[in-house]
Structure 1
Amino acid sequence: MASERVIPRVPPLSVWASSRLNSLLRSETTDRFNRVFDVTFAQDLEVVLNGKSFTRDEYKEVLLGQSGAGPSAIKDVHIEGETVVNPIPSGDRLVGGFVGMFYTITSTSKRFFVFGVPARQKDVSSINLTVKSTVPYPATRLRYPDPRRITAVNQILQPRTFIVSYPRSVVPANETSGSGKVELGPVNITQVEEELSVLGNKFSTASVPEADIDEE
């Protein structure tokens, strides 16, 4: 008796992309990070980051540095504005397409401390992804791995900023807000908490589920 082909159940492209990125950045070990990265990005990945070309391995190191498996402990990953364009009108979710989104990461440093408290950090980025079905799967199998992979990345990543909380006793009242919190920017610009809240309003706090990563 011939086996019937089982059509895989896969999430829509926007959910697939955001959940993969969320799982990658929330990885707490390098083993987990490597596994998610390998089932998300194609081997022949093309990357343009802040206008410069990166190899797949170089880009992997960039994302590792942002993730919880790197020098920071992730507190929040916020993803919003997912926009999807499918090159071919089709009901087949495995066709692939183009995805654009914004994300922000709030984390605590594992290396830098201020008055004994880990410094808080913020990463802000916009990213455009090209996704294609690149992995062949067998004609008969009870469960299929998701064949979609990111084949191209075009990303703008702002320099990391540090948000440091100072005891009120060491911060002159006429130089910063009463909260004692300031953000140290990439060009040594000190911004008060009220300014940070305006920037933060540009990004949603919508939660994104962890990706269901198949063992492949």
Structure 2
Amino acid sequence: MRSFLVFCTSLLLAAPLAAAPQVQVVGLFPGAAVVSVDGQRQLLKVGQSGPAGVTLVSADARGAVLRVEGAERPFGLSREYSGTGYAEPQRQQMSIARRGDGHYWSAGSINGQGVQFLVDTGASSVAMNEAQASRLGLDYKTRGQPMQVNTAGGVVPAWSMRLNSVKVGTIELLGVEAAIVAGGSPTEVLLGMSFLNRVGWREEQGLLRLEAKH
């Protein structure tokens, strides 16, 4: 999007050059998208406008069309547009060192609330017990779907729900599936494959390396 000068003919003076907003699509859903404008994130449905008047024209799993300063432009996931043109953001990367117990632990957050994650590639999703979910303010019994899971203690009730956001280091994902398990297990919040499958990861020489996908 190009910046432009507005001339005031009565005064023969040019107004200052308008700064183009920094626009990024960070989440895609049928008929909706999470749009970041100058660092402000907002979930927009088709036809809605967000910061700086950015309007969502259309959206599906492949991309979105936004109206920015009167011009409609296509956006892929995490593709930025500024006054200088399109630019792909740098991939977010981080490394987690294996601790003495042989596990990988990392500080992070769920829906903006701080948690300590235990990385578990054997868990199909992010998982936690009821007390942990309550501390995070998750309304899992109302918003979640009842199911059953196998644990070391046998088959127990659980609820499946989608978390608004899960962040580890600088890597943040939106709409991550999670399981809330009845009782006290697991004792730690598990960072399972519903997160790991959406990032690039590899283990080498006692380090777990994560890289955001774009």
Normalising by structure 1, report the TM-score. Answer: 0.30
Higher strand share: 2
Task: Flag the structure with larger Rg.
Answer: 2
Higher helix share: 1
Normalising by structure 2, report the TM-score. Answer: 0.30
Higher relative contact order, chain-length normalized (CA < 8 Å, sep 6+)? 1
